Amino acid sequence: MLVSMIILGVLGLMVLVGLGRPVLKDFRINWIAALAFFALVIGLNFVPIITIGEFTFSVGTALFYLTTFVMFFVYGKFPTQMAAMALGLILGGLIYAATRLSLLSGNEFFGTTNYVYALVLGTITFLVARNGKYAFLASSIAMLLANLLVQIGSPIGLNYGFDWTMVACGTAFTMYALTRLFLDLAEKKSGRKSKMAHMFEADRLDD
């Protein structure tokens, strides 16, 4: 959980200094709400783990996943929301399939979710969505699905793989924020929108 807490702190810092502004614009929330959310997830994850039968979770982790799921359906067009949800579910299923194939070939490292899957996932959602909100949310739902599926047959822990979820979400968040910053700076310097900006915005998931 230490990795996820660090990433949440870094994302909060990006929001505070303004680097996360493009992502917040897609979410249609202000920096205060984003900072409060990140701080709340961090703080609540210090609350002792709750166990219900064979299911365990931290309050902060549960809040993160619940909020990201709800945010799919806040401030957006339904077809776009469904496309982003489908993207997350498909990628989550593909990650799970990759873990099963890896186990069959005797590769235990890739037989479960890890930071490599998370980095690739965050990059793919960024490239496909090209929208800060939907890249972040699709990464979250995809990693949650994969994390849950690889635990089939054993007790289920919502905290399992949460570090990798935050690696995926953080990758999508950072890549989108830095790309938008680069494109905006290029536009200000030239006084017109570049071909790269047009290509980036063409057919992106947009509300």
pLDDT tens digits for range 119-141: 999 999 999 999 999 999 999 99
pLDDT of residue 16: 94
Q: Does 37 reside within a domain?
A: yes
pLDDT of residue 7: 97
Alpha helices of the chain — where are they, by DSSP H? 2-17, 21-27, 31-44, 59-71, 78-104, 115-129, 132-149, 162-190, 195-201
Dist CA 52 CA 143 (whole Å)? 22
Q: Does 207 reside within a domain?
A: no
Q: Does 46 reside within a domain?
A: yes
Q: Does 94 reside within a domain?
A: yes
User: At residue 68, does pLDDT exceed 90?
Assistant: yes
Tokens 């289920």 found at: 156
Q: In degrees rounded to 5, what are phi and psi of residue 160?
A: -60, 125
When the pLDDT of each residue in the chain is averaged and rounded to a whole number, the result is 94
Q: Does 131 reside within a domain?
A: yes
User: If 0-12 CB within 10 Å is exposed, 13-18 middle and 19+ buried, where does residue 78 land?
Assistant: exposed
Looking at per-residue pLDDT, the higher value among 165 and 189 belongs to 165
Binned at pLDDT 50, 70 and 90, residue 200 comes out as confident
Q: Does 162 reside within a domain?
A: yes
Tokens 């995809």 found at: 142
Tens-digit pLDDT profile for residues 21-50: 999 999 999 999 999 999 999 999 999 999
Q: Does 9 reside within a domain?
A: yes
pLDDT of residue 184: 83
- Could you tell me the residue range of the domain that residue 164 belongs to? 2-201
Count up the domains in the chain and report the number.
Answer: 1
Q: Does 11 reside within a domain?
A: yes
